[in-house]
Amino acid sequence: MKRFFCLIGGGSLVTAFCCSYLTAAQLIGLICVLAFLFLLACLLRSHWIKARLSISKSVLLLFLGSTVLISGLFFAKEVFSYLPASALAGTEQIVTARVTDIGLRPGGRYTYAMKAEQISEEALPFPFTFYCYSSKSLFAELGDSVTLEVTFFEPTENDFFHSQRYYKGENIYLTGYADSYTGVKTIQQETDFITRCLSQLNKFRHSLYENINEFLPTKTASVLGAMILGFREDIPYSLEQDYIDSGIIHLLAISGMHVLILALFAEKLFHLLFRRIPVRQEAFSAIGVIIVVILFLFLSGMQVSALRSGIMMIVLQAGKLFYRKADSLNSLFLSGFVIVLQNVYAIMDIGFLMSFFSSLGIIVLSKPMTDFMMKKLGFYSLAFRQFVESVCISLSATVFLLPIFISSFRSFSLIAPATNLVGGVLVTPVLALGFPIVLGSAFLPQEILSLLFDLEGFLLTLLNETASAFAELPLPSIGFDYREIDLAWIFFFLTGTILFLLGKYLRFSRQKSALFLFLLLIFSLSSGYLSLYRNEKNSLEVYFVGDGTTANCILKSRGQVTVISPNDDDYIDEATCSFLRKKGLRRVDNLILLYPSFRAYQDTVNFIETVPVTNIFYPESNLNAEFTLTRYQKEETNLFPINDDLQEVRCGKDENFSIVFDIISGAVSLTVFFEENELLFFGTANASRDSEAVIRCLRGSDFSKASDQTENTVLLNPGKYAEEFEKAAYLHPVSFTFRSQNH
């Protein structure tokens, strides 16, 4: 059997993906069913299986065996690791843990990845890893043992992203906040040899990143650090959004292209070094490449996408040692099997899924597509074929990534094939020059490094400008986060499946079938968007978009968008940008800031640098807001202080709804009116008591005012009142649509 790892890896990946959505009780049922099928296949005679199922017994056993193995591992991981750890959520504990990673977020805030070993001086039978957030340094190094008080939380599901799956994909079970002001006991432990090596490698990794920042500006240094060393925290928010909008955000993550370029560079170097060896130069070179790839995986932070491509490269080089040619498809599924075998939660990592599916698309589709295009065009020159191959590689990866974009991001970049083609051309010299420069920055002279980094900076600037230019196009992506679009997809898949089953009776050729399915897709989506346009033509849509701690209110009417932000908070800009992208919206007409005394508006700055905003309203008493917004104001942006002279703002394409401001004791509240009906109210303490609004929006501090009208209350940031205010009693996350009476 030539590709048995395709069976093992395919069964493992599909099973792990299905198990990731099941509870522990459902997992038991799945394991019993799979085990019964496996035993049944073992008992039945092989000739009966061949006659009835047209499949060999060994093939069936390999597939079912891998499914039983992975489902069993998933159940064990859930029952013995995750469930005991999640029971600590909502409690304060004295924890003794070992530091495994250290990160620094904007504003001087720290993130420590820790492996809990003792809880309240009791040893844990199954230590678990958690993220510990702190407002100041704990003065601990990698491998140190730390004892401190931690308040544990289970990742909260919110509108922004599926946080529980995200953290599980990172092998993190809980998050927590450290009480770093009551004293932290840090013990520098005598670590084993492997831990000391990893610690020294991590320090070397940080020193290389410091060298990059010394020679390059912030933007280009952050991009190079992400591509080579896996540091993505310092990429400016607006630049990262440009890469997302242009469809080439995967270039910033270490994946197959990065490992391939490094391997080619190392292979050429080792061939040069071992050219005088009389026997098996190729074997020595392969061993050297394997060592370089393994070191690079550790140096890049062992990202899952990099691990997938690293395993494929190791298999490819190992084939040279044993005089075997590695099969790309077999190697891909082998890498997937090894990754989920090592950590079954890796299937929840969106980076791994995108890396795997893009590689699968390139392996399966790019060559047939290239041959078809060359045959149809009739040109056979080598240069033209290389160009066609580049286009087909970009298209094949995009086609296989389409289900992930639609299901996970609810949007699809229309310009992704073009940007991937241009970005792929630019990123190759960036990486080819970047690897030797970054690694050589530890010992090369300053004069040579300055010259090389100048050249690298020019290439990185060109790549950044390309991403920004494509992101500023009028329609870089379309949003699918609408009920009408979901119905259109369901109609397309059902109709397409029926026609596929009836194809042999209709006598459709492959070309006719492909053309008909394409026309059916265009018809379905066009009908969905036409229905969407008619439904929202005379309506006001109200959405609440949050990150788990606070929420923004978004009003949408006839393509016009108004964002109301009660306060500035971590990730609230990302949640709002993600929402707008899912809806296919590219600009904001009005941004209203309500918080009267907030001093740091970095998230608001991130937002207005990413999304064009026409009008910004802010409390006149907040001088910090005025100073910050004036500093970052763009030419097309107008600033309006909210004061006694500004009482009403007309919004919408035809000014079909209005916002009335009310200032009481410096605090700003507002009421939204649509067709003479009071629809929405942002409450202050006095004004909310007499409100007759259809919906009332309150902050957590106004909990007492919501207890008597819970049926129409939205609690924006529950905070410490979350447990007190029952989840069924408030409407978050929610959305409402109000139709015009004349519609």
Residue 343: CB partners within 8 Å, gap ≥ 6? Answer: 171
- Which residues of the chain carry a pLDDT beneath 70? 1-3, 45-57, 105-108, 156-161, 179-184, 186-195, 276-280, 379-380, 475, 503-510, 547-549, 567-571, 596-601, 633, 665-666, 683-691, 699-712, 716-733, 741-743
CA distance 700 to 698: 7
Q: What Å distances lie between residue 79 and 35, 75, 86, 91, 444, CA to CA?
A: 19, 6, 11, 20, 52
For the four alpha carbons of 46, 50, 53 and 54, in that order, the dihedral sign comes to positive
The pLDDT of residue 163: 75
Contact 481, 532 (CB under 8 A): no
Contact 625, 598 (CB under 8 A): yes
Rg (C-alpha) for the chain, rounded Å, is 28
Residue 6: Cβ within 10 Å count: 20
Question: Any idea which fold 539-739 has?
Answer: Metallo-beta-lactamase; Chain A (3.60.15)
Q: Is 121 exposed, middle or buried (0-12, 13-18, 19+ CB in 10 A)?
A: exposed
> Which pLDDT tens digit goes with each residue over 395-446?
788 788 888 877 777 887 778 777 877 887 788 888 888 888 888 887 888 8
CA distance 692 to 486: 35
The pLDDT of residue 729: 47
Q: What is the DSSP string of 707-727?
A: TT-GGGEEES--GGGTTTS-G
Contact 97, 114 (CB under 8 A): yes
Residue 110: name the closest of 135, 147, 140 by CA. Answer: 135
End-to-end Cα, the chain, rounded Å: 64
Q: What Å distances lie between residue 690 and 321, 366, 661, 705, CA to CA?
A: 80, 65, 16, 10
Residue ranges per domain, the chain?
4-84, 87-190, 198-477, 480-536, 539-739
Instruction: Summarize the chain as % helix, strand, coil (round to 5).
Output: 55, 20, 25
CA distance 686 to 669: 10
CA distance 45 to 63: 17
Q: Across-strand partners of 122?
A: 119
The gap from C-alpha 632 to its chain's centroid, in whole angstroms, comes to 28
Residue 595: name the closest of 716, 418, 473, 497 by CA. Answer: 716
Residue 329: Cβ within 10 Å count: 16
> Helices (H) and strands (E) in the chain — how many of each?
25, 21
Question: Any idea which fold 87-190 has?
Answer: OB fold (Dihydrolipoamide Acetyltransferase, E2P) (2.40.50)
pTM above 0.85, yes or no: no
> Which pLDDT tens digit goes with each residue over 333-374?
888 888 888 888 888 888 788 888 888 888 888 888 888 888
**Which amino acid is it at 148?**
L
- Inter-axis angle of helices 193-215 and 281-299, to 10 degrees? 80
Would you put residue 560 in left (φ > 0), alpha (ψ -120 to 50) or beta? Answer: beta
The pLDDT of residue 11: 87
CA distance 373 to 445: 49
**Which amino acid is it at 529?**
Y
CA distance 610 to 604: 10
CA distance 188 to 679: 59
Q: Across-strand partners of 479?
A: 411
Local structure of 692: helix, strand or coil: coil
Residue 481: name the closest of 585, 394, 567 by CA. Answer: 585
> Tokens at residue 154, please?
């289970």
The pLDDT of residue 688: 63
Q: Where are the beta strands (DSSP E) in 508-582?
A: 539-546, 551-557, 560-565
The gap from C-alpha 323 to its chain's centroid, in whole angstroms, comes to 40
Q: What is the DSSP pairing of strand 92-105 with strand 109-119? A: antiparallel
The helix (run of H) or strand (run of E) holding residue 484 is: helix 483-501
Contact 152, 89 (CB under 8 A): yes
> Which pLDDT tens digit goes with each residue over 464-492?
998 888 888 876 778 888 888 888 888 88
Q: What Å distances lie between residue 497 and 176, 492, 494, 500, 698, CA to CA?
A: 47, 8, 5, 5, 48
The gap from C-alpha 691 to its chain's centroid, in whole angstroms, comes to 40
Q: Is 11 exposed, middle or buried (0-12, 13-18, 19+ CB in 10 A)?
A: buried
CA distance 411 to 479: 4
Contact 743, 537 (CB under 8 A): yes
Residue 700: name the closest of 582, 592, 556, 546 by CA. Answer: 546
Q: What is the DSSP string of 268-321?
A: HHHHHHTTT-SS-HHHHHHHHHHHHHHHHHHHTT--HHHHHHHHHHHHHHHHHH
Q: What is the DSSP letter of 64?
A: H
The pLDDT of residue 728: 45
Contact 112, 180 (CB under 8 A): no
Measured at the CA of 495, the angle between CA 490 and CA 497, to 5 degrees, comes to 95
Residue 434: name the closest of 658, 208, 634 by CA. Answer: 208
CA distance 737 to 741: 13
Q: Across-strand partners of 98?
A: 115, 145
The gap from C-alpha 461 to its chain's centroid, in whole angstroms, comes to 24
Q: What is the DSSP pairing of strand 145-153 with strand 109-119? A: unpaired
> Tokens at residue 494, please?
């059902």
